[in-house]
Amino acid sequence: MHVAIIGATGLVGSLVRTLLAERAFPLSRLTLAASARSVGQSLDYLGAPAPIVSVADALAARPELVFFAAGGAVSREWAPQFAAAGARVIDKSSVFRLDPNVPLVVPEINGPAIGNAPLIATPNCSTTQLVLVLAPLAREYGLKRLVISTYQAVSGTGAEALAQLQREQQGGGAGAVYPYPIHGNVLPQCDVFFDNGYTGEEMKLVHETRKILGLPHLAVTATAVRVPVAVGHSEAVNAEFERPFTLEAVRALLAAAPGVVVTDDPAARAYPMPLTAAGRDEVFVGRIRADEGQPNTLNLWVVGDNLRKGAATNALQIAEYLVRETAAVAAP
Amino acid sequence: MHVAIIGATGLVGSLVRTLLAERAFPLSRLTLAASARSVGQSLDYLGAPAPIVSVADALAARPELVFFAAGGAVSREWAPQFAAAGARVIDKSSVFRLDPNVPLVVPEINGPAIGNAPLIATPNCSTTQLVLVLAPLAREYGLKRLVISTYQAVSGTGAEALAQLQREQQGGGAGAVYPYPIHGNVLPQCDVFFDNGYTGEEMKLVHETRKILGLPHLAVTATAVRVPVAVGHSEAVNAEFERPFTLEAVRALLAAAPGVVVTDDPAARAYPMPLTAAGRDEVFVGRIRADEGQPNTLNLWVVGDNLRKGAATNALQIAEYLVRETAAVAAP
């Protein structure tokens, strides 16, 4: 299979390339595309240099499977062209996520939604780790309302933001990406503000969670906050259900959920943290406790690597799902 | 007035001493007490050295007003002895806060609760800034339920924790105070764990908020998280009320609340942050927005200096209230 990565030099694009090798993805050819300033350079793939070409040249090369990780503007312009040329496109940007014709997929939850769609969207990082944990509970107890507070890592904004954090940690000046210092500070702003006072990140949590869980009227409210952490988003989640649960049953459901690891032993000070979740493909959940002020309500603490399951890993898992389905269809 | 500070060398005790000078508190004598290892040393007060004595010697000196900022064990042992000797005691520890005979006071909210109590407790840092913002809204709209997620600064744990953060920021090893690194990480644990899975800090938010607001059955649930910030606690608050509000009326109420500053202009990227709240006596509130998933529900972002309004400033304000009341009673 001829695979292309658009945005191959970014944090997520680089990790997609790493994961293709790490997970032994069955590719026969790899095309790497990036912006003009990187064209002509090359990146390593399995010990050999792979040249970086323009997006137009990548399209002309007719790849069969294309990962888009270059930001909204590039996806908006180019993703439909690759799809029209017959490729299956897995898009990391937010551009097509809420399009009713585009499946928004976390394979463990709604892989079959992929169907024959030429373009498949992978969700926002903070949504992916959230729904992975909530889906089994929503199925069992009926999800009614969510209150989410996030503690989001700087790498979610990209390589330049990570450079700003590192520069500030070394005593350098602030600026460039965030309007204020992020080192030694927290910023209650992720993405731009909308007229309703919420940020883009907060509204993604509302709309994408509803779409993936298939609960279009779910009550969701969020506060998205950037913290001085390099990799690993954390989320404090208050989830109200229609039906009662026991904590034992909740723990058992989560322990059995694919891609989810329960880390929840207060006596041993065992709980999820970005420091231990970074570099892992699983999503970690702990601090599982009943809300003592409201029936059928649970508090959870969810941590995931925003570049892996929050982005590159989920995109790869969608690709692996496509390969499996294609193989299943092709089988005699 | 003869004033004593017990725990004069700690972060809060030091700031109480600074604030006594800064706010020109009418004292005639200052006695500073600390643990044995500091006795014999001295600290500056208004340009003159003030010797550090033992707690027993401070008691023997018969101060009229005593600030306790030395931790729970010292308060438990000594605060009642000072009170029995006729002093008014303002205690920063959690030991007496939920005692029905001890007023738990944020002067702007429940100053009159002080009455003739010999011992007055000042609340937990994260509770103080929270209730200061919620009290005017609770009075106007009837508070029904709170979901709180905190982003707490390391100085809330004390000087040794601050030293751990600074050591880690300079590349040194972790440990000493927190069980895991705090630099580049977030810890979903503030204080010890209870059997119900909640931490001490989370349950303080429940019980102290109820007591100060006079709402013994208020539904409150919290997730308390330590972030790599030196000074300044932040809180994402989802507050459900009995009655409807408009955002304009909420902003007007908060703008008029004593000690509260509204910083809420998304278009100008104006919102509260620990970086700008540190060193300030006021509590800052922003990101004021209606929860679109539930009626009569508000999201708020509250930031305060945990050492100032969260501890030393509130203690000083209680002392100033006592002085004013005494003067009023003594007036002809």
Q: What ipTM describes this predicted complex?
A: 0.96
Three-class SS of residue B324?
A: helix
Give strand ranges (E) for B54-203: 65-68, 88-91, 119-121, 143-151
Q: What's the whole-number mean pLDDT along residues A292-303?
A: 98
Span B154-169, pLDDT tens digits: 999 999 999 999 999 9
Q: What's the whole-number mean pLDDT along residues A216-230?
A: 98
Is residue A332 predicted with pLDDT exceeding 60? no
Q: What's the whole-number mean pLDDT along residues A50-68?
A: 98
Is residue A208 predicted with pLDDT exceeding 80? yes
Q: State the pairing for strand pair A88-91/A65-68.
A: parallel
Q: Per-residue confidence at A330, pLDDT binned at 50, 70, 90?
A: low
Q: State the pairing for strand pair A143-151/A233-241.
A: antiparallel
Q: Which of B147, B151, B230 sits opposite A225 (nearest CB)?
A: B151
Is residue B91 predicted with pLDDT exceeding 90? yes
Is residue A281 predicted with pLDDT exceeding 80? yes
Closest CA in chain A for residue B275 = A185
Span B237-271, pLDDT tens digits: 999 999 999 999 999 999 999 999 999 999 999 99
The predicted structure's pLDDT at residue A173: 77
Sheet (strand A233-241) strand order: A219-223, A143-151, A233-241, A297-304, A283-290, A260-262
Cα–Cα distance for residue pair B136/B118, rounded to 1 Å: 28
Please confirm, yes or no, whether B233 is among the known catalytic residues: yes
Q: What is the 3-state secondary structure (H, E, C) of chain A?
A: CEEEEECCCCHHHHHHHHHHHHCCCCCCEEEEECCHHHECEEEEECCEEEEEECHHHHHHCCCCEEEECCCHHHHHHHHHHHHHCCCEEEECCCCCCCCCCCCECCHHHHHHHHCCCCEEECCCHHHHHHHHHHHHHHHHHCEEEEEEEEEECHHHHCHHHHHHHHHHHCCCCCCCCCCCCCCCCCECCCCCECCCCCEHHHHHHHHHHHHHHCCCCCEEEEECCECCCCCCEEEEEEEEECCCCCHHHHHHHHHHCCCEEECCEHHHCECCCHHHHCCCCCEEEEEEEECCCCCCEEEEEEEECCCHHHHHHHHHHHHHHHHHHHHHHHCC
Residue listed under structure tokens 């997620």: B149
Chosen from B223, B251, B269 to mutate, greatest number of chain A CBs within 10 A: B223
Distance from CA of A291 to the nearest CA of B (A): 6
Cα–Cα distance for residue pair B167/B58, rounded to 1 Å: 34
Closest of B159, B183, B160, B186 to residue B307, by C-alpha: B159
Q: Do B188 and A234 touch (CB under 8 A)?
A: yes
Chain A CB contacts of B227 below 8 Å: 151, 186, 227-228
Closest of B163, B287, B151 to residue B224, by C-alpha: B151
More confident position, A268 or B330: A268
Sheet (strand B29-33) strand order: B42-45, B48-53, B29-33, B2-6, B65-68, B88-91, B119-121
Chain B CB contacts of A272 below 8 Å: 188
Distance from CA of B67 to the nearest CA of A (A): 30
**Average pLDDT, rounded, for chain B:** 96
Close Cβ partners of B144 (under 8 Å, ≥ 6 residues apart): B218, B219, B240, B241, B242, B296
Is residue A99 predicted with pLDDT exceeding 70? yes
Cα–Cα distance for residue pair A25/A67, rounded to 1 Å: 13
Q: Which of B206, B275, B293 sits opposite A220 (nearest CB)?
A: B293
Q: Per-residue confidence at B31, pLDDT binned at 50, 70, 90?
A: very high
Chosen from B147, B209, B291 to mutate, greatest number of chain A CBs within 10 A: B147
The predicted structure's pLDDT at residue B298: 98
Among the residue ranges A8-22, A136-150, A314-328, B143-157, the one predicted with the least confidence is A314-328
B39 vs A: CB within 8 A: no
Chosen from A287, A297, A302, A303 to mutate, greatest number of chain B CBs within 10 A: A287
Chain B CB contacts of A287 below 8 Å: 188, 197, 223
Q: What's the whole-number mean pLDDT along residues B2-23?
A: 97
Q: Where are the alpha helices (DSSP H) in B23-99?
A: 55-60, 72-84
The β-bridge partners of B148 are B222, B237
Three-class SS of residue B289?
A: strand
Is residue B275 predicted with pLDDT exceeding 60? yes
Q: Which of A180, A193, A293 sits opposite B273 (nearest CB)?
A: A180
B229 vs A: CB within 8 A: yes
The predicted structure's pLDDT at residue B176: 79
Give strand ranges (E) for B188-266: 219-223, 233-241, 260-262
Is residue B332 predicted with pLDDT exceeding 70? no
Is residue B330 predicted with pLDDT exceeding 70? no
Tabulate helix, strand, coil % of chain B (nearest 5).
40, 25, 35
Please confirm, yes or no, whether A233 is among the known catalytic residues: yes
Residue B153 to residues A9, A180, A184, A248, Cα–Cα distance (Å): 36, 18, 9, 33
Is residue B170 predicted with pLDDT exceeding 80? yes
Q: Per-residue confidence at B331, pLDDT binned at 50, 70, 90?
A: low
Q: What's the whole-number mean pLDDT along residues A178-188?
A: 97
Chain B CB contacts of A147 below 8 Å: 147, 238, 291
Span B179-212, pLDDT tens digits: 999 999 999 999 999 999 999 999 999 999 999 9
